[in-house]
């Protein structure tokens, strides 16, 4: 009688174990890849919100502090102008042409960082805030001090118990 070729039971179990281990490592790696992609997508969305706010600050006019000219927030109230250093401001993406004073949103303006494209529910929300100050030291050109403001836009949000913040700064001089 001749012996037939084949695998023993131990060899089969070892082969299955190696395949299961490789599959587990691949699933873990794909899960980590998806997590890092999500973190970067949210960070990019927060950067976009901050950049939109910077663009709004830089384009809203008129701005000449030496002549007491400030862009209006909503076109009606001249006491709550932007680019003044006595209050903070917030931007609402649903009304892109307006900024709101801190008194309207004392704890920060709530903004949606990411919403589910299937049902439109907000998945990740954060806050946005703008602080404005006079840059130090003041800029002087030909003996004249430039009327400038430095605005800092901060978008903060929390994802999976980790807090993230995007901060962008800009300088604006009189027109």
Q: Of residues 130 and 39, which shows the higher confidence score?
A: 39
With beta carbons less than 8 A apart as the criterion, state whether 68 and 147 touch: no
Give 90's Cβ-side CA count (13 Å radius): 19
Assigned domain for 1 exists: no
Assigned domain for 101 exists: yes
Give phi and psi for 8, each to the nearest 5. Answer: -85, 165
Assigned domain for 97 exists: yes
Q: Alpha-carbon distance 110 to 113, whole Å?
A: 9
Give pLDDT, residue 5: 74
Question: Is 16's pLDDT higher than 60?
Answer: yes
Give pLDDT, residue 85: 62
Number of structural domains in the chain: 1
Nearest to 53 by CA among 167, 175, 164: 167
Assigned domain for 70 exists: yes
Helix, strand, coil abundance in the chain, percent, nearest 5: 30, 30, 40
- Work out the mean pLDDT of the chain and round it to a whole number: 80
Give the lowest-confidence range in 51-55, 82-86, 166-170: 82-86
Assigned domain for 146 exists: yes
pTM equals 0.72
Give pLDDT, residue 78: 46
With beta carbons less than 8 A apart as the criterion, state whether 105 and 91 touch: no
Digit-coded pLDDT (tens) for 82-103: 666 656 666 555 665 566 666 5
Q: Which domain holds residue 131?
A: 9-173
Residue given tokens 């404005």 in the structure block: 132
Assigned domain for 4 exists: no
Token pair listed for 130: 């703008």
With beta carbons less than 8 A apart as the criterion, state whether 123 and 115 touch: yes
Assigned domain for 59 exists: yes
Question: Is 68's pLDDT higher than 80?
Answer: no
What band does 121 get if pLDDT is binned at 50, 70 and 90?
confident
Q: Which residues contact 50 (CB under 8 A, 6 or more apart)?
A: 128, 153, 154, 155, 166, 167, 168
Give pLDDT, residue 75: 47
Give pLDDT, residue 26: 97
Assigned domain for 58 exists: yes
Q: Of residues 105 and 112, which shows the higher confidence score?
A: 112
């Amino acid at each position: 009688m001749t012996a037939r070729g084949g695998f023993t039971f131990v060899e089969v179990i070892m082969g299955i174990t190696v395949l299961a281990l490789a599959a587990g490592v691949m699933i873990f790696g794909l899960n980590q890849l998806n997590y890092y992609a999500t973190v970067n997508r949210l960070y990019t969305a927060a950067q976009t919100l901050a950049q939109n706010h910077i663009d709004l600050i830089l384009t809203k006019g008129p701005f000449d502090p030496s002549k007491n000219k400030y862009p209006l927030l909503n076109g009606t109230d001249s006491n709550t102008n932007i680019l003044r250093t006595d209050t903070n401001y917030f931007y609402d993406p649903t009304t892109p042409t307006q900024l709101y004073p801190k008194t309207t949103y004392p704890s920060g303006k709530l903004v949606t960082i990411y919403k589910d494209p299937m049902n439109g529910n907000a998945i990740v929300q954060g806050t946005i805030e703008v602080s404005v100050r006079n840059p130090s030291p003041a800029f002087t050109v030909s003996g004249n001090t430039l009327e400038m403001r430095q605005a800092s836009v901060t978008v903060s949000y929390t994802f999976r118990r980790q807090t993230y913040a995007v901060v962008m700064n800009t300088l604006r001089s009189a027109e």
